[in-house]
Amino acid sequence: MTNIRKKHGAAFKAKGTMAAIREEGTIAELASRYGVHASQIHAWKKVVQEGVRGQFDGEKDRLLVSAKHEPGGKHDFDRAEKHG
């Protein structure tokens, strides 16, 4: 008999991950509640935490790009260079 791997959707993963981040129970309790292994909850939580960290790391670059473009479609590269 072969085991069929479950494929969880993004909404399911987000719900379980947010429960772990909010500490709505121990990892073991959450794993039991969502029917997954505890290591899966840890893995999803790690992905979210690294993703959030990456969003803040890339914030400086996004600000520079937005500073280069003015409302009339003109580029202000001098102003962008001063921020870097």
Residue pLDDT, tens place only, 27-83? 999 999 999 999 999 999 999 998 888 877 766 655 555 555 555 545 444 444 444
Task: Name 13's bridge partners.
Answer: none
* Residue 76: predicted pLDDT: 47
65 vs 6, 17, 56, 62, 69, CA distance in Å?
Answer: 41, 32, 15, 5, 7
| Residue, of 24 and 63, whose pLDDT is higher | 24
Cα–Cα distance, 47 to 55 (Å, whole number): 12
* Residue 69: predicted pLDDT: 52
Q: How confident is the model at residue 2 (pLDDT cuts 50, 70, 90)?
A: confident
Task: Name 75's bridge partners.
Answer: 69
